[in-house]
A = this chain, B = another copy of it.
Amino acid sequence: MAGRPREFDRDAALEAAMHLFWRKGFAAASMHDLCEAMGVSSPSLYAAFGSKEELYLAAFAHYAATEGQAVWDRLADGATARAGVENLLMAAAETLPKSRIAPAGCMVALGAVSDEWPPSIARVVRKVRLDLLRSLHARLEAALADGELPAMTDIDALSRFYLSVFQGMAIQAKDGATPAELRSAAKAAMVAWPGEG
């Protein structure tokens, strides 16, 4: 087991690819752009990641495990499901708009919404989106069992509703909405919590 050692940091390169994909999507981020952003020539890139599709999947997994997880973990914060959902939306309002270090939007919410994405990527992205719906659903179901929510609450509808608010916020962030504007929308959404008045 020998060979010339790799001259670039694989994780740093993956992070750079993630940011470029995050900002430009899959198709618009050309291999030329990626090589430049990652500081790696294309044969090295292919040796390390296989193909552009596989590189995207690796970057997407990295995104889900870091940026995405950081926001979605807030759902578990707080004593009640209501607090968890509010924390989630507030964190989203803070994270979704463009900042000095991060592009606007969300790779999970906005990825593969048009059919111009490779099917293999679309399948993975949509699966993660459904996972978000499922974890929202699970949190609300627990709240129902705890008696936090009225017994006749429509959990399917409520989880789908709060997911739609999150996804809509992602689109508006892409259009330039500020954290304050998204917070106000999230605040308005929390009024729909069952038993509010």
For the residues of A in contact with B, the DSSP-based class is: helix
Contacts of A156 in B (CB 8 A): 181, 184
Question: Is there contact, CB below 8 Å, between A160 and B175?
Answer: no
Is A197 part of the contact surface with B, judged by Cβ < 8 Å? yes
Q: How large is the interface on A (under 10, 10 to 19, 20 to 34, 35 or more residues)?
A: 35 or more
State the copy count for this chain.
Answer: 2
Cα–Cα, bound, A117→B130 (Å): 26
Given A154-B188, A157-B188, A188-B154, A116-B25 contact (CB < 8 Å): yes
Given A26-B116, A114-B24, A160-B184, A126-B168 contact (CB < 8 Å): no
Is A139 part of the contact surface with B, judged by Cβ < 8 Å? no
Contact with B along A98-134 (1 / 0, CB 8 A): 0000000100011001111100000000100110000
Question: Is there contact, CB below 8 Å, between A24 and B184?
Answer: no
Q: A34 CB to closest chain B CB, in angstroms?
A: 14
Is A164 part of the contact surface with B, judged by Cβ < 8 Å? yes
Contacts of A160 in B (CB 8 A): 172, 177, 181-182, 184-185, 188
Q: A16 CB to closest chain B CB, in angstroms?
A: 16
